[in-house]
Amino acid sequence: MLKGKRILITAGPTKEFIDPVRFISNASSGKMGYAIAEELSSKGAEVILVSGPTNIKCNSNTIKVVQVTTALEMLQACQHYFDSVDIVFFTAAVADYRPLIMESSKIKKNDETMTIQLTKNPDIAYEFGKIKRDDQISVGFALETDNIIEYGKGKMQKKKFDFIVLNTTNENGEGFGFDTNKISLLFNDDSIKHFPLKAKTEVAKDIVAELETRIQNPIAI
Ligand code: CTP
């Protein structure tokens, strides 16, 4: 059913440079996005993985990996594919802000305090939501520490996700950096499905299985 489907996935963190040797980033490992890419590829989908800097080597030579560093680069790379894909997974932990000015030389420590002015990065999922067609499926991810369902619902509506994968950092072994994750799937018909703590490779199978169910039963998506 996923055979021949063209699927775009964003993964990993982005790095936003302050000067040539320093940057703002986050602890995303990219593991979840890569696991989903491998699972989709094993089902015969044509996968394009737009990845921020990670330490992961993609095992499948059928996945097209596009390496980017910054949020602006990630947006540009994704925009190239938005029109031609059937499904998009937004697993990347895009830095919400970047330094307003990137210094061209290394900043010297002259003062006791220093201030870096930040400016908002584009929201890649929101940009896709603005042009998304009815025949396209969009899947979002959200890592929350509290009000998980309320915030998840808000993001799903704002970014036009068909469903959103929610996870928290409340328990050991889930979220950034870990090999395991405990997720809930929230759908745009307000239904929710909870899953136990599992290896990220198994979580990827659950997410892809759910996607297949929803493709078979489009009324529910
Ligand atoms: N996302 C994105 N581009 C951004 C920020 C987020 O594509 N600049 C996507 C993420 O990949 C994820 C979803 O939007 O699928 C939700 O991301 P999250 O960081 O949880 O949401 P934000 O809208 O940034 O809200 P906040 O950080 O305030 O919780």
pLDDT tens column, 153-192: 999 999 999 999 998 765 665 656 678 889 999 999 989 9
pTM: 0.94
Establish whether residue 96 lines the binding site of ligand 1, counting it when its CB lies within 6 angstroms of any ligand atom: yes
Residue 142 and residue 117 in contact, taking contact as beta carbons nearer than 8 Å? no
Nearest ligand 1 atom to the CA of 143 is 20
Q: Is the pLDDT of residue 219 over 60?
A: no
Give 204's pLDDT tier (boundaries 50, 70, 90): very high
Establish whether residue 78 lines the binding site of ligand 1, counting it when its CB lies within 6 angstroms of any ligand atom: no
Q: Percentage of residues in the chain with pLDDT exceeding 70?
A: 94
Establish whether residue 142 lines the binding site of ligand 1, counting it when its CB lies within 6 angstroms of any ligand atom: yes
Nearest CA to ligand 1 atom 27: 96
Q: Is the pLDDT of residue 27 over 70?
A: yes
Active site includes 26? yes
Give distance in angstroms: CA of 10 to centre of ligand 1.
Answer: 11
Establish whether residue 141 lines the binding site of ligand 1, counting it when its CB lies within 6 angstroms of any ligand atom: yes
Of 73-77, 105-109, 171-175, the poorest mean pLDDT is in 171-175
Nearest ligand 1 atom to the CA of 142 is 20
DSSP output for 93-133 = B--SEEESS--SSPPP--SS-----EEEPP-HHHHHHHH--
